[in-house]
A and B are shown apart, each in its own frame.
Chain A
Amino acid sequence: AQSVTQPDIHITVSEGASLELRCNYSYGATPYLFWYVQSPGQGLQLLLKYFSGDTLVQGIKGFEAEFKRSQSSFNLRKPSVHWSDAAEYFCAVGVGVNDMRFGAGTRLTVKP
């Protein structure tokens, strides 16, 4: 069955520390992969996406993600977290843009 898993419901990091949010998927073929961020009461903003090519993808706000086919993973990283990064992060996958499924989300808290 097709699925998207974000193993961490909630992560707390100190401001300036590095961050890695995990995402694993189970699909019949390599899907399109996305990371979105959602601030409280807001819609979703696309951070980055992977369709094909270079497996290390650079996004906005200093985020990057690496697609690892062997691990069926697409983890999101940031070398130094800012307080404004506190939000909910969603990994999404789909075999096409008309077929997007979201993970359960990871809530990021940033400590001063």
Chain B
Amino acid sequence: GAVVSQHPSWVICKSGTSVKIECRSLDFQATTMFWYRQFPKQSLMLMATSNEGSKATYEQGVEKDKFLINHASLTLSTLTVTSAHPEDSSFYICSALDRGSEQYFGPGTRLTVT
């Protein structure tokens, strides 16, 4: 089946720094990727939809200047958390949409901001 990877799997950073998370579709091309955020013991909340070659579409309440998304190729989307703060600590999950219109999820990235 289709595989989506995320890097890093976990990261610890200091408050005020920026962190980049990569999402790659390994064996298929994805014109659309999604970024989700999951708080402990809670559901996934869609943050933004990332389309290759165009600006991401952010969900209401998500700061686009804080969560920068770049989808530069058909196999890579990146999420950069800028000026991270402890409240940004969370589990970030990406998914990629294949031609069959199914979302394949990455393993997630745990971000801890100290």
Chain A complexes with chain B: yes
Question: Within the assembled complex, what's the spacing in Å between the Cα atoms of A12 and B107?
Answer: 25
Question: Within the assembled complex, what's the spacing in Å between the Cα atoms of A46 and B43?
Answer: 15
CB distance A98 to B49 under 8 Å? yes
A104 interface contact, C-beta 8 A: yes
Given the known interface contacts A43-B93, A43-B108, the answer about A105 and B43 at a Cβ–Cβ threshold of 8 Å is yes
Given the known interface contacts A90-B44, A98-B32, A105-B43, the answer about A44 and B105 at a Cβ–Cβ threshold of 8 Å is yes
Question: Within the assembled complex, what's the spacing in Å between the Cα atoms of A102 and B42?
Answer: 10
CB distance B102 to A46 under 8 Å? yes
Residue among B4, B95, B103, B107 with most chain A CB within 10 A: B103
CB distance B103 to A97 under 8 Å? yes
Could you list which residues of chain B lie within 8 angstroms of chain A, going by C-beta atoms? 4, 6, 32, 34, 41-46, 49, 91, 93, 95, 97, 101-108, 110
Q: Which residue of A lies closest to B44 (CB)?
A: A102
In terms of DSSP, what is the predominant structure of the interface of chain A? strand
Distance between A74 CB and nearest chain B CB, rounded to angstroms:
16
A70 interface contact, C-beta 8 A: no
A8-35, CB under 8 A of B: which get 1 and which 0? 0000000000000000000000000000
Contacts of B110 in A (CB 8 A): 41
CB distance B97 to A98 under 8 Å? yes
Given the known interface contacts A98-B49, A98-B97, A105-B43, the answer about A45 and B105 at a Cβ–Cβ threshold of 8 Å is yes
Distance between A42 CB and nearest chain B CB, rounded to angstroms:
6
